[in-house]
Structure 1
Amino acid sequence: MRSPHPERQAPFGLKLDVFRFDGTFLSLVVDLPREAIEGMRRSHILRIDAHLEMERPLEILARLNIKHGPNTEQLVAELSPQDETGRAVVEFDLAYTKLNEKRIESAWIDLIFEGPDMNEITMHDLTLSRHPRSEI
């Protein structure tokens, strides 16, 4: 969908109208581009900033998956908006993983919507950024 305010957010968003839904969750997968994983280290923090709008409250989980060799590291955090603005932020600290930095092949994010039936979910913006972890 085209954004009504492209100067304040992404020019396009994603709207999900979920009616009758027999499952327990709906998962949306976002593959990270090669540039996002080049140079990724355990000393990095990955941050997701989202601007979401829903007809009724809904639990949303963000799961970061990083494939390195035969293993896949998974970090999960709640991404549900905390106030009426619809803004949600989550950070993944890679220092707490057993990530083999030299063998990173791919990475993706699963956005997991718990019990999405009879709800309209609009994702106005989704931004992933990577920051170095502070050395103390």
Structure 2
Amino acid sequence: MARQSPVRLVFAVSIAAALAVFLLYVSVAGGTPSLQPSQLKNRTGKVALVGKVVQPVRRTAGKQEIRFRLRDVKGSAVVPVFYRGSVPDQFKLGREVRLEGRLRNGVFIGKPGTLVTKCPSKYEAEKRA
């Protein structure tokens, strides 16, 4: 059996290490930070907004447009949201949602196709009155 050249081994390990570093960088740098309404102030750039849907919810007739307000999951800060795109069936008042977009003139403009509802877990303990 012929002995492999150490140069080939060093080259292969170097390529594997470079690929691992590149994949790690892409996964970390490409992420969109998730924020709640209270964390949006003076924020520029694309972010993911997470919160609970509160009143009022207004749908534009004949269009896939919706206006609503999001409140912090555990807090009182609220931000108005405008979203154009398909709305999940589970979208309703009190439901936690996540969507990507940007804050413009005090209104969060959602990117189409990014509105996702958080479904309540059937394993959570029921709230008792």
Q: TM-score, normalised by structure 1?
A: 0.22
Query: Greater strand percent: which structure?
Result: 1
Query: Greater helix percent: which structure?
Result: 2
Higher relative contact order (CA 8 A, sep 6+): 1
Structure showing greater radius of gyration is 2
